[in-house]
Structure 1
């Protein structure tokens, strides 16, 4: 059994953490650049505008900011303000993770038709995780490391509660989302938008387990400071990328021309979406600064569809 706190082991693990941060930085840049055209098309009016695009964009920008701050810190950009740099980097990281979870909360609100109990539980879980993130940022400390010639965190025991909080809140949110989809009908997952939501929920659950459980395990073991935070960069980039793909995938599916999105069979509710070409020809696409509203939903533009002939009275489904 190696001595995890020996100087040689600390040096080796610190260098491994630096390499991992560089790899995640490259991954984050590639992801942002390769999918920037999506949000750019929304801002130019070539894609349907939804207010949640700002959550999506802020989440991706926060991810880039995180690795930018960390890159400056670990590459010797400064040796006097290590704690400040790492606090800024981790604050950006927690903003990105919180916004990724917020996209899940908004899905839960739509799937459960804004049921007060479910919405309350969802936001309590999300706000609890957010509070733990804020607390963790205030306790973070970093110092210049001569072996790696960069700033590295120390006294990382506070990461334990934060890692557990992120895993617990994501688990609660995913259970609520999957339960909301399956409650419609036993065979709902075989049809329409419910199938897309269900598959995306399962993928998110798998990704969350793969990246969050190791982060919690290493935080609980407290082998040494570099290993305690080793999986956090991987957790951040994986969750943000997964949330971005889910967001784009859902909206691209919803706005297919002449799509009839069903949450079930028979008398179950339907979400009817107009052809994209018809919508554009009859009413211009609303941009971020435009007051023009589409006739596909009520004023405010929050509901993507209209009531179907088989829909429950007064029912409209809200999609991100």
Structure 2
């Protein structure tokens, strides 16, 4: 029977973790650079400005920064202040994941047409995830190991409530979004509603695929490296998924060539700037009489 706490096994699993981390970091860099043109076009005003670009851009930037700090900790760039370094890495990583979840909340607000009860529920669910993330960062402790030549976190079993919270909050938010979409039955096979539905299904599948292994290894608590093994995969997967879903929705909304013949997308109230023409109320008009008012 394998002794998961033996030094040889710990060294092997630490190598697995470092390899996974570097591969995911490479994927994050590739994703950021290959799609930076979108942000650049918005900031240069060659694409319409929507205030949610800051949520989208923040999600991507914090993902990169989180990976940079995680690599610095795992590769032993500093033998001192390991707890501070690891806490900073996890804080930026959780910020990226939180912003990805916030993009789901904004869709929920739009799909449910600012229904007070639903907006309150979505906000509470999202804030619960934020609170668990903050709790995780405050409890995290790490020390430098001369054997592994890296900063090694310990007592990682304390991450369990956070792993449950991330999976649970994302699942509930995505279910709220999908239920709101399915309410538009007469328009569910056309235009923007079908796009949102497909994106919601993909987003839910990705969330389950990458978050369940994180939760499972945290429950098993085999050893410290294996508890952390799938966290880089979770970070890069959710960051990439959120970015691509956002770009896909915005491209559909703002590119006339991509619009369905039965779907008219007048505009999206993503902008903090005043509209130049009346009325200022923007909606997705999906057939008649069904509408999805995009207030976000």
TM over 0.5: yes
Taking the aligned partners of 2:191 and 2:24, their CA distance within structure 1 comes to 35
| Offset at residue 146 of structure 1 (A) | 2.4
Aligned to 2:151: 151
| Offset at residue 77 of structure 1 (A) | 1.1
Which whole-Å deviations, capped at 9, do the CAs of 1:193-240 have from their partners, x for residues lacking one? 001000000000110111000000000000011111111110011001
Aligned to 2:275: 293
Three-state SS of the structure 1 residue aligned to 2:142 is strand
Taking the aligned partners of 2:55 and 2:121, their CA distance within structure 1 comes to 21
Structure 2, gaps ≥5 residues long: none
Aligned to 1:22: 22
The structure 1 segments of at least 4 consecutive aligned residues displaced by more than 6 Å after TM superposition are 306-309
Match of 2:265 among 260, 264, 272: 272
Which whole-Å deviations, capped at 9, do the CAs of 1:143-176 have from their partners, x for residues lacking one? 1122331112111011111000000001100110
| Contact 1:271–1:317 (Cα < 8 Å) also in 2 | no
Taking the aligned partners of 1:238 and 1:164, their CA distance within structure 2 comes to 17
Three-state SS of the structure 2 residue aligned to 1:51 is coil
Cα distance change on mapping 1:171 and 1:307 into 2, 3 Å: closer
State TM-score, norm by structure 2.
0.92
Three-state SS of the structure 1 residue aligned to 2:143 is strand
Taking the aligned partners of 1:6 and 1:126, their CA distance within structure 2 comes to 39
Aligned to 1:230: 229
| Offset at residue 311 of structure 1 (A) | 4.5
State TM-score, norm by structure 1.
0.86
Taking the aligned partners of 1:204 and 1:287, their CA distance within structure 2 comes to 25
| Offset at residue 258 of structure 1 (A) | 6.8
Taking the aligned partners of 1:164 and 1:64, their CA distance within structure 2 comes to 24
Cα distance change on mapping 1:141 and 1:192 into 2, 3 Å: same
| Contact 1:43–1:287 (Cα < 8 Å) also in 2 | no
Query: Greater Rg, structure 1 or structure 2?
Result: 1
| Contact 1:97–1:239 (Cα < 8 Å) also in 2 | yes
- Greater mean deviation of Cα atoms: 127-136 or 250-259: 250-259
Taking the aligned partners of 1:306 and 1:116, their CA distance within structure 2 comes to 20
| Contact 2:192–2:284 (Cα < 8 Å) also in 1 | no
**Counting helix residues as a fraction of each chain, which structure ranks higher?**
2
Structure 1, gaps ≥5 residues long: 275-285
| Offset at residue 305 of structure 1 (A) | 4.1
Residues 1:188 and 2:181 are matched in the alignment: no
| Contact 1:174–1:201 (Cα < 8 Å) also in 2 | yes
Higher RCO (C-alpha 8 Å, min separation 6) = 2
| Contact 2:62–2:95 (Cα < 8 Å) also in 1 | yes
How do residues 169-188 of structure 1 correspond to structure 2 at under 5 angstroms? 169-185=169-185, 188=187
Taking the aligned partners of 2:64 and 2:208, their CA distance within structure 1 comes to 23
- Greater mean deviation of Cα atoms: 13-22 or 239-248: 13-22
Residues 1:134 and 2:134 are matched in the alignment: yes
| Contact 1:271–1:316 (Cα < 8 Å) also in 2 | no
Three-state SS of the structure 1 residue aligned to 2:256 is coil
- Greater mean deviation of Cα atoms: 149-158 or 207-216: 149-158
